[in-house]
Amino acid sequence: MRFHFTVLLLVVHEDVEERGITSALKSLPGVDKAKKLLLKQQLAAYLKKEKSTDDVFTKLNLAKTGDKLFESPKFLAWVKYVDDFNMKQKDPDKAMSMIPTLTKQFGDASLAKMLEVAARSPSTKRLAENLQAQQLKSWKEAGLSVDDVFRRLSLNTGLDDILTNPLFLTFNKYLVDFNTWNPGKSTTMVETLARSYGDIPVTRMLEAATKVDDTKAMATRLQGQQRDVWKDMGLNVDDVYSQVLRLDDTTGNLFENPNFAVWTKFVDDFNGGQTSSFEALWKILGEKTLVQKLIAPRQTRRNSTVRELQDDLIRKWLSLKTPPAQVSKLLGTSFEGTTLASRYKWNFSNQ
């Protein structure tokens, strides 16, 4: 079977139109100039000698074009050469792909970033998407795991801005494809992130990202995925509190710890809201410890979460019919303690 370059660049993603490279090139500017760039005699000489795509790429000094590669008329000339070379081959094993050459010149990460940028331009979008598809396919054929590709794209070197990294989008495409190809080895984005950075750093990053407009939607989706992973692992609210988020090790303000907000979301999601965060804390910490945290000055100052939990605490005592004197003794003589005791006494008297 003859191997054609147009076949090489057929789209493999469902969301990319299945068209050959020829139609993609027609949408690019500079095609006419590209035809004039290399004389027919020079192209014929290259073809006669069957020079490799690497050799011709080097002769055209295409590495120097950098991020402007896909806009360069010289690049179009090189594409034409690859197409002609492959059409000439009788042995399909001798056909050449553009991706190995481009990867050799720029590396996986730089090439992927260039393709992401080119995919945003109407003039280079179709070509870039075709090449992206081939890059993903090359990783698949090389047997790369999602962690392998994660490292190849250098996504394991910086967590804070990972959601705005263009290569994060490339990796997500490979992750989706990998799970389709390997249903028995499927994994999730948050599991991949956790394998590189750990649960707690990833959790903090996602919670911070929910407060930024550009990353809020993606971070919220990933938080939901994270909660699903924890539930699939059989973790309950106690496990996530102590083993995953390590909130039992908190020496500062528990209620201002970003992971506390993450935990409350998990509690709400865990059993459809049947168990409240307060009830879970009452069980995990016990009455005395929970009370101490809710009246500690550094915990209570201008904290709406603490105020809501104090209200829950009052309702809990009311349901237990706890005498105000007993509550007053438990709360002590601090300003926060006496204030809460007065609130409870009033509610107890007026229920």
Range of the domain at 16: 1-142
Structural domain count, the chain: 2
Do 179 and 229 fall within a single domain?
Answer: yes
Residue 272 lies in a domain: no
Residue type at 241 in one-letter notation: Y
- The owner of tokens 């939901």 is 224
Dihedral Cα 248, 253, 256, 260, nearest 10 deg: 10
Q: Are 130 and 28 in contact (CB under 8 A)?
A: no
**Position 32 pLDDT exceeds 60:** no
Do 96 and 181 fall within a single domain?
Answer: no
Do 4 and 83 fall within a single domain?
Answer: yes
Do 5 and 138 fall within a single domain?
Answer: yes
Question: Domain boundary at 101, 117, 142, which?
Answer: 142
Residue 154: what are its φ and ψ, rounded to 5°?
A: 60, 30
The whole-model pTM stands at 0.78
- C-alpha distance across the termini of the chain, in Å: 86
What's the pLDDT score for residue 249?
Answer: 78
Q: Which two three-digit tokens encode residue 224?
A: 């939901």
For 213-246, b/e burial (b = at least 16 CB within 10 A) is: eebeebbeebbeebbebbeeeebebeebbeebbe
pLDDT digits (tens, 9 = 90+) for 276-321: 999 999 999 999 999 999 998 765 556 788 999 999 999 999 999 9
Do 12 and 110 fall within a single domain?
Answer: yes
Name which of 98, 21, 24, 26 is nearest 57 in CA terms: 98
Do 123 and 176 fall within a single domain?
Answer: no
Higher-confidence residue of 168 and 273: namely 168
pLDDT digits (tens, 9 = 90+) for 55-105: 989 988 898 888 889 988 888 888 888 888 888 887 777 778 899 999 999
Do 182 and 163 fall within a single domain?
Answer: yes
What's the pLDDT score for residue 11?
Answer: 33
Do 105 and 137 fall within a single domain?
Answer: yes
Residues 6+ positions from 6 with CB-CB distance below 8 Å: 20, 21, 22, 83
Residue 68 lies in a domain: yes
Residue 256 lies in a domain: no
Beta strands in the chain (DSSP E): none
Do 148 and 135 fall within a single domain?
Answer: no
What's the pLDDT score for residue 1?
Answer: 39
What's the pLDDT score for residue 21?
Answer: 55
Question: Domain boundary at 118, 142, 166, which?
Answer: 142
Residue 195 lies in a domain: yes
Do 45 and 130 fall within a single domain?
Answer: yes
pLDDT digits (tens, 9 = 90+) for 322-341: 999 999 999 999 999 999 99
Q: Are 72 and 65 in contact (CB under 8 A)?
A: yes
Residues 6+ positions from 270 with CB-CB distance below 8 Å: 227, 231, 236, 237
Residue 97 lies in a domain: yes
State the chain's maximal CA–CA distance in angstroms. 102
Q: Which two three-digit tokens encode residue 151?
A: 């490292």
Average pLDDT over residues 161-182: 96
- Residue 240 and residue 70: Cα distance in Å, rounded? 48
Do 4 and 120 fall within a single domain?
Answer: yes
Contacts 24+ apart (CB under 8 A), 200-205: 200/244, 200/245, 200/246, 200/259, 201/159, 202/159, 202/226, 203/244, 203/245, 203/258, 203/259, 203/262, 204/258, 204/259, 205/159, 205/160, 205/162, 205/163
Q: Say what percent of the chain tops pLDDT 70.
A: 86
Question: Domain boundary at 181, 199, 234, which?
Answer: 234
Do 68 and 161 fall within a single domain?
Answer: no
Residues 6+ positions from 108 with CB-CB distance below 8 Å: 135, 149, 152, 153
